[in-house]
Structure formats: C-alpha cells, structure tokens
C-alpha cells in the first residue's frame, strides 16, 4: 500500500456504516491523500456522493466490479 492511498474494506457492512468508518479513517489521512473504500451495500455510492458534498472531500471515482463498489475519495485540503 502506498503512503498516498489508504484502503477501507467495508464489504458486508450496511449503510451508514461504510460512511461512518470512512469518516473515522479520514481523520488519520493527510489532506490530499486518497482513501479507497470497498463496499457491497448498493446505497454506498449515493451515500458517499452526499458525504463528499457535505464534507468537501472529493469523490474521485466509483467503479463496480461484480457486487463490490470501489469508491475513491481524496481528503479535502482543509479537513
């Protein structure tokens, strides 16, 4: 794992848990660095879009492979 990328495995968790865990993990991520969240809850993409709008973090990408969503966030420079 790169110092620029942190990974959160939230597979099997129902929303809002993936967002809550990501929020907690982002506290330890440096501004501008990436967090990849892997989630299986179909509500996760919409929940992370709302989370990023509310917090100022950037939603870089959402990809789905099978039942798993890979959601990439970039931590806001000020938060």
> pLDDT for 17-73, tens place per residue?
999 999 999 999 999 999 999 999 999 999 999 999 999 999 999 999 999 999 999
Residue 30 placed within a domain: yes
- CATH code at 70? 3.30.110.40
Which residue among the candidates 13, 15, 17, 20 is catalytic per the annotation?
Answer: 15
Nearest to 57 by CA among 24, 42, 35: 35
Q: Indicate whether 18 belongs to any domain.
A: yes
Residue 52 catalytic? no
Q: Pick from 1-10, 15-24, 70-79 the range whose average pLDDT is largest.
A: 15-24
The Cα-based distances of 33 to 22, 67, 68, 72, 78 in angstroms read 13, 26, 22, 10, 12
- Note down the domain range covering 34: 5-74
For 9, 26, 31, 46, the CA distances from 78, given in Å and listed in that order, are: 25, 12, 7, 23
Average of per-residue pLDDT across 5-11: 98
pLDDT score recorded for residue 1: 44
Confidence check: pLDDT of 74 > 80? yes
Mean pLDDT (whole number) for 8-12? 98
């Amino acid at each position: 794992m790169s110092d620029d990328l942190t990974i959160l495995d939230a597979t099997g968790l129902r929303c809002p848990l993936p967002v809550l865990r990501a929020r907690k993990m982002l506290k330890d991520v440096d501004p501008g660095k990436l967090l990849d969240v892997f989630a299986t809850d179909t509500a996760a993409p919409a929940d992370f879009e709302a989370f990023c709008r509310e917090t100022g973090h950037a939603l870089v990408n959402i990809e789905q492979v099978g039942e798993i969503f890979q959601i990439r966030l970039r931590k806001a420079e000020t938060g």
